[in-house]
Chain A
């Protein structure tokens, strides 16, 4: 889909001599390269290219001379993006002579110049192989948001989106709005000084929802199918046996969580006495105004709360459920409210986790003379007689094991995301109907960088389905996810990528005529972008695509290419690197580096003027998963002595922006190493190196280690072929 009607390519190359580049590098040699092949129609040097005059030089060439391709050999492409911005009609490439050449290598050195020249050649080649993408937008997108679940999060998401002018369909499976809010007797304090419980927000939020003409509420309804892509989803909602199809632009999943099954907590006495209940049951008791012992219906004046009941326990829920500490304190207040003279609430906690304003409430509850708090491990909960229960805890603040006898024991059960056992969305996606989870069933996509983002573009998780949280945070989540959902519609409307390559107008182009339907791309795409037709050929849903290039890395037939990132483009770049002869004693290494983390890390090393081996040539890639094996084969057969893949952590707590890129790279590396063995090349010539951004200081050492290793093996025997 490259733009065939584009004008004749006319290349301008601009070399900056500022920032010490002019003093460190042989600029004339660079100019010579610019005038070689591919030949620039104009090549200019400037002492201060990012100044107004410098930029004007380029601008004038574009406007006056019809230059439509620009190569800037100067600073890192990560800086001055706003300065060197020439619009969508110009193919722009930045050659990093500053952070990755002049600032980290010996000035006026033959090898440093060789490096700069290689990079300029690579830049020129890449530019010549790139084209302007044609718009991927094929039809008008839908503006409506689908919000699933009308609890605190869902109602908030609907309200915020409606206020922003979008139509919202709010689907709730129960007959009434409210979700968890509806079950509450009281809510945690919401106002200064955060000491007094407040009435549940239900009525207020319900009122706000109903007052919004933009919100269409569908209760007793369930989503039975979602197909399509951001901007162009079709959702099938079942209500009263009827299925209603609706067209929506994006989806907010706010189906919340359920309580952990107390029946699994027999070690905490559940089941041993009717007077051991879960916090949900206790909340219901309080709501009905009867805090009583189920055994005989007499008022329960002394109540013990056992926190982390199931949570933070590797045998149950390994995580902190985040809200049960505060909930238990709230329920302790119910006990005191019911009987201010004799009411006693014992709270056994593992750590009192009351983040944010909850801390004030904790302090306030601590002041209550009838609330008894201690850290401790509850070791035994057992019935005493028919109506009492004893709770024994060890390692308490009172100095040793203690036992209290109470009327009622409340287990502060943790929470389980509603997506754990239920697909809910019923996605018509090749990779399955469910949202992939990050951990423990929470369908988050990345642990810190991209909140609300799931691994299905245009579908956002918010509230307790995303992570354990309290109501205050659920509201924040609802609002945040609504904004992201609107943004997703806007991206689809303009045909640009969402996070993490936000605004990228390029996209993968599938040369289906040569595709063998091997299905690797459809299987490996981390975002479920590709469906398959009946014959197994990939079908691109462009708005789901995050432009990571992992499909391109996967494709054995090499038929997937981006407009500015292609198999041939990168192969040509690799070939543009000059390989010195074996007798020169100079080695050459290729380093594919992930643009998201490794690239800025190496820039940082340059900014800090760290010096490292000059024999390495970097090839930035969209993701380590976007390295096609042919490039590695090309570089080894082309005479490179070693190849590094610099990428992020994978596996548990991965940091890969594309979820599975570095993991796939390692997996694929295993395969290529077999091939190398067969060729008689040492497998260690190609290595994956985990290189987190925070460890840029270690970069010189990392390179040194690798070079040393290759030195031991000796130069590539294929050199000179």
Chain B
């Protein structure tokens, strides 16, 4: 049966407006599908999505089951030889989907344009002012700063429980529409798992961020999202506990600093702040090439900014209270409350809705996916190989390299060509071939030296020459860093723009770098040893930092 196609030009324009400007440049080479960690042989992704977007096939894309499994790691974008930016396109599809499935739909339009922002702020502000008027609290309270002097806990309950409920229910409505869409997409397939089983697996994955860890170009976001998620959950738990304190023990805020709930609250705040700071910082980070930068639309900023503002104003609320400056403390608190209202109440219309859609997509995927795509690469080493401080430094060193960007500059280099990043060629240590990675070998997760970075293992950061490379960077991790796309060898460490510079006898490979001697490098594409066929051709490693163990990261924050 032939599919009738009637391109929706408006849809294409919307996708462009949401950040997918280059969607039309795709020429279907499938390089993206080779590098994408969630693509499989029988279900390439996101190449088909690109042509669906080009042909304005809205219905197909808004109910595409994989679009929300994509973690926007942007590996695809940095390898796309045409600069079509598939990662950005998928982001745009997600943003569009949120608007498309939002309930009630017309309301969602207010979130696509900055000009409505004052209105969005005014809604909670007016409501809260009205509440204050009703309570007769339209002035800065006297004496010790106690926020319940401004809003009683009842008022807050009457207001925020329904608002959260609204946000949540409306979010679920969108989620349901999406679920129906993807189910239709997969009509005829029979599930491999029950929904409950899939939900448990999904929960585990979300809490451990396994999928996030597979990102390489956007690898650092993992360090932002994880603390932020736990910080958010902690803050949510704190609020709930405070309410319970009140009803069960009749205890009112402010709580003393040694109280366990207070401690939980403060730790959460720090995590949230830290997480937001990293995510915001990434959005400002600029690499030497345009493709290294994370494009940010208003829609991106709306949610991230809101969350950050909530975290910041929350912290300021506490600090100004402790400082005793009532004239600042109460207004700050007021603003904080407005922002929380926006965050929770507008959940289904902002990017916050990703929580619903992503959960739905992940559960669905685990129910149906023929192949387990969740556990593909070895995770970060169990033992932290370096001090945390050093880890930070490494990232610094790697940054320009990461930014140097693969591909575009050279047809032979990294991802630019089908010979480069694009091809599923290259081996790894044979035994691990079947173990870890999809294509190349991977160091078994237990290896103390194995598999840190997904792209490009290389010499230790101390190397005077290391770390500069654009395509064939020679970035940091400890010897044996598992390389996804060609690692370059430790000793001589030339940070070349194209291709890692291998020690003479080994010969760099177009795709694979040459072997980091001590431990088998986990290689997805290329890696160890280079296929002789490609020996000596420039290419090789793409840089960024190796994910350091999350435990260490958190430890530092505490």
User: Taking beta carbons and an 8 Å cutoff, which residues of A are in contact with B?
Assistant: 341-342, 344, 363, 366-374, 392, 394, 397-405
User: Which residues on the B side are within 8 Å of A404 (C-beta)?
Assistant: 4-6
Quick check: A398 and B52 within 8 Å, CB to CB?
Answer: yes
User: Which residues on the B side are within 8 Å of A374 (C-beta)?
Assistant: 51, 55
Q: How far is the CA of A404 from the CA of B5 in the complex (A)?
A: 5
> What 10 A-B pairs are tightest by C-beta distance, nearest first?
A401-B2, A403-B2, A369-B12, A367-B24, A402-B5, A403-B4, A402-B3, A392-B2, A397-B51, A397-B28
Quick check: B5 and A398 within 8 Å, CB to CB?
Answer: yes
B6, B24, B57 pick with most chain A CB within 10 angstroms: B24
Q: How far is the CA of A402 from the CA of B48 in the complex (A)?
A: 14
Quick check: B3 and A369 within 8 Å, CB to CB?
Answer: no
A394, A401, A402 pick with most chain B CB within 10 angstroms: A402
B2, B12, B27 pick with most chain A CB within 10 angstroms: B2
Q: Which of A341, A369, A401 contacts B24 (CB 8 A)?
A: A369
Interface residues on B, range: 20 to 34
Quick check: B9 and A370 within 8 Å, CB to CB?
Answer: yes
Quick check: A369 and B48 within 8 Å, CB to CB?
Answer: no
Quick check: B2 and A366 within 8 Å, CB to CB?
Answer: no
A-B contact pairs, 13 of them (CB 8 A): A341-B9, A366-B24, A369-B9, A369-B12, A369-B13, A369-B24, A372-B7, A373-B54, A398-B5, A398-B55, A401-B1, A403-B2, A405-B4
Within 8 A of A (CB), among B38-58: 48, 51-52, 54-57
Known: A366-B24, A398-B5, A404-B5. 11 other contacts (CB 8 A): A366-B25, A374-B55, A394-B2, A397-B28, A397-B51, A398-B51, A398-B52, A402-B2, A402-B5, A403-B5, A405-B4
Q: Nearest chain B CB to A554's CB is how many angstroms away?
A: 53
Q: Is B193 an interface residue (CB 8 A)?
A: no
Q: Is B16 an interface residue (CB 8 A)?
A: yes
User: Which residues on the B side are within 8 Å of A373 (C-beta)?
Assistant: 54
Q: Nearest chain A CB to B459's CB is how many angstroms away?
A: 39
Chain A proximity mask over B1-38: 1 for CB below 8 Å, otherwise 0: 11111110100110010000000110110000000000
User: Which residues on the B side are within 8 Å of A372 (C-beta)?
Assistant: 7, 54-56
Within 8 A of A (CB), among B143-190: none
Quick check: B27 and A366 within 8 Å, CB to CB?
Answer: yes
Chain A proximity mask over B500-528: 1 for CB below 8 Å, otherwise 0: 00000000000000000000000000000
- The residue of chain A having its C-beta at the shortest distance from the C-beta of B52 within the complex is A398
Quick check: B6 and A405 within 8 Å, CB to CB?
Answer: yes
* Known interface pairs A401-B2, A402-B4; A367-B25 also in contact (CB < 8 Å): yes
- The residue of chain A having its C-beta at the shortest distance from the C-beta of B15 within the complex is A369
Q: Nearest chain B CB to A395's CB is how many angstroms away?
A: 11
User: Which residues on the A side are within 8 Å of B57 (C-beta)?
Assistant: 398
- The residue of chain A having its C-beta at the shortest distance from the C-beta of B3 within the complex is A402
User: Which residues on the B side are within 8 Å of A344 (C-beta)?
Assistant: 7, 9
Q: How far is the CA of A399 from the CA of B12 in the complex (A)?
A: 19
Within 8 A of A (CB), among B509-553: none
Q: How far is the CA of A419 from the CA of B461 in the complex (A)?
A: 71
Q: How far is the CA of A341 from the CA of B25 in the complex (A)?
A: 20
* Known interface pairs A367-B24, A369-B24, A398-B52; A342-B5 also in contact (CB < 8 Å): no
Q: How far is the CA of A373 from the CA of B12 in the complex (A)?
A: 14
User: Which residues on the A side are within 8 Å of B16 (C-beta)?
Assistant: 369
- The residue of chain A having its C-beta at the shortest distance from the C-beta of B60 within the complex is A398
Q: How far is the CA of A366 from the CA of B51 in the complex (A)?
A: 12
Q: How far is the CA of A317 from the CA of B250 in the complex (A)?
A: 91
Q: How far is the CA of A441 from the CA of B24 in the complex (A)?
A: 40
Q: How far is the CA of A394 from the CA of B2 in the complex (A)?
A: 8
- The residue of chain B having its C-beta at the shortest distance from the C-beta of A352 within the complex is B27
- The residue of chain A having its C-beta at the shortest distance from the C-beta of B57 within the complex is A398
B5, B6, B9 pick with most chain A CB within 10 angstroms: B5
Q: Which of B3, B6, B9 contacts A398 (CB 8 A)?
A: B3
User: Which residues on the B side are within 8 Å of A342 (C-beta)?
Assistant: 9
- The residue of chain B having its C-beta at the shortest distance from the C-beta of A394 within the complex is B2
Q: Nearest chain A CB to B8's CB is how many angstroms away?
A: 10
Q: Nearest chain B CB to A404's CB is how many angstroms away?
A: 5
Q: Nearest chain B CB to A68's CB is how many angstroms away?
A: 59
Q: How far is the CA of A372 from the CA of B51 in the complex (A)?
A: 9
B3, B4, B6, B27 pick with most chain A CB within 10 angstroms: B3
Q: Nearest chain B CB to A7's CB is how many angstroms away?
A: 65
Q: How far is the CA of A400 from the CA of B24 in the complex (A)?
A: 20
Quick check: A368 and B24 within 8 Å, CB to CB?
Answer: yes
Q: Nearest chain A CB to B5's CB is how many angstroms away?
A: 5
Q: How far is the CA of A374 from the CA of B4 in the complex (A)?
A: 14
Quick check: A400 and B3 within 8 Å, CB to CB?
Answer: yes
Q: Nearest chain B CB to A195's CB is how many angstroms away?
A: 13
* Known interface pairs A369-B12, A369-B13, A369-B16; A401-B3 also in contact (CB < 8 Å): yes
Q: How far is the CA of A329 from the CA of B466 in the complex (A)?
A: 47
- The residue of chain B having its C-beta at the shortest distance from the C-beta of A365 within the complex is B24
User: Which residues on the B side are within 8 Å of A367 (C-beta)?
Assistant: 24-25
Q: Nearest chain B CB to A391's CB is how many angstroms away?
A: 10
Q: How far is the CA of A341 from the CA of B4 in the complex (A)?
A: 21
* Known interface pairs A369-B13, A372-B55, A398-B52; A403-B3 also in contact (CB < 8 Å): yes
Q: How far is the CA of A341 from the CA of B6 in the complex (A)?
A: 15
Q: Nearest chain A CB to B503's CB is how many angstroms away?
A: 36
User: Which residues on the A side are within 8 Å of B6 (C-beta)?
Assistant: 404-405
User: Which residues on the B side are within 8 Å of A394 (C-beta)?
Assistant: 2
User: Which residues on the A side are within 8 Å of B12 (C-beta)?
Assistant: 369
Q: Nearest chain B CB to A366's CB is how many angstroms away?
A: 6
Q: How far is the CA of A367 from the CA of B4 in the complex (A)?
A: 23
Q: Nearest chain A CB to B495's CB is how many angstroms away?
A: 32
User: Which residues on the A side are within 8 Å of B3 (C-beta)?
Assistant: 398, 400-403
Within 8 A of A (CB), among B386-439: none
Q: Nearest chain A CB to B52's CB is how many angstroms away?
A: 7
A372, A374, A394 pick with most chain B CB within 10 angstroms: A372
Q: Nearest chain A CB to B9's CB is how many angstroms away?
A: 6
- The residue of chain A having its C-beta at the shortest distance from the C-beta of B27 within the complex is A366
Q: Nearest chain A CB to B84's CB is how many angstroms away?
A: 10
Q: How far is the CA of A264 from the CA of B48 in the complex (A)?
A: 36
Q: Nearest chain B CB to A344's CB is how many angstroms away?
A: 6
Q: Nearest chain B CB to A369's CB is how many angstroms away?
A: 5
Q: Nearest chain B CB to A382's CB is how many angstroms away?
A: 12
User: Which residues on the B side are within 8 Å of A366 (C-beta)?
Assistant: 24-25, 27
A341, A373, A392 pick with most chain B CB within 10 angstroms: A373
User: Which residues on the B side are within 8 Å of A397 (C-beta)?
Assistant: 28, 51
Q: Nearest chain B CB to A129's CB is how many angstroms away?
A: 57
Q: Nearest chain A CB to B31's CB is how many angstroms away?
A: 15
- The residue of chain B having its C-beta at the shortest distance from the C-beta of A370 within the complex is B9
- The residue of chain B having its C-beta at the shortest distance from the C-beta of A368 within the complex is B24
User: Which residues on the B side are within 8 Å of A371 (C-beta)?
Assistant: 24
User: Which residues on the A side are within 8 Å of B2 (C-beta)?
Assistant: 392, 394, 400-403
Q: Nearest chain A CB to B200's CB is how many angstroms away?
A: 33
A369, A372, A400, A404 pick with most chain B CB within 10 angstroms: A369
Q: How far is the CA of A402 from the CA of B4 in the complex (A)?
A: 6
Quick check: A399 and B1 within 8 Å, CB to CB?
Answer: no
User: Which residues on the A side are within 8 Å of B4 (C-beta)?
Assistant: 402-405
Q: How far is the CA of A373 from the CA of B51 in the complex (A)?
A: 9
User: Which residues on the A side are within 8 Å of B27 (C-beta)?
Assistant: 366
Q: How far is the CA of A401 from the CA of B51 in the complex (A)?
A: 14
Q: Nearest chain A CB to B345's CB is how many angstroms away?
A: 35
Q: How far is the CA of A370 from the CA of B56 in the complex (A)?
A: 9
User: Which residues on the B side are within 8 Å of A341 (C-beta)?
Assistant: 9
Q: How far is the CA of A341 from the CA of B13 in the complex (A)?
A: 10
Q: How far is the CA of A373 from the CA of B27 in the complex (A)?
A: 9
Q: How far is the CA of A109 from the CA of B255 in the complex (A)?
A: 112
- The residue of chain B having its C-beta at the shortest distance from the C-beta of A398 within the complex is B51
Q: Nearest chain B CB to A466's CB is how many angstroms away?
A: 31
- The residue of chain A having its C-beta at the shortest distance from the C-beta of B28 within the complex is A397
Q: Nearest chain A CB to B264's CB is how many angstroms away?
A: 50
Q: Nearest chain B CB to A189's CB is how many angstroms away?
A: 18
Q: Nearest chain A CB to B10's CB is how many angstroms away?
A: 10
User: Which residues on the B side are within 8 Å of A398 (C-beta)?
Assistant: 3, 5, 48, 51-52, 55, 57
- The residue of chain B having its C-beta at the shortest distance from the C-beta of A367 within the complex is B24
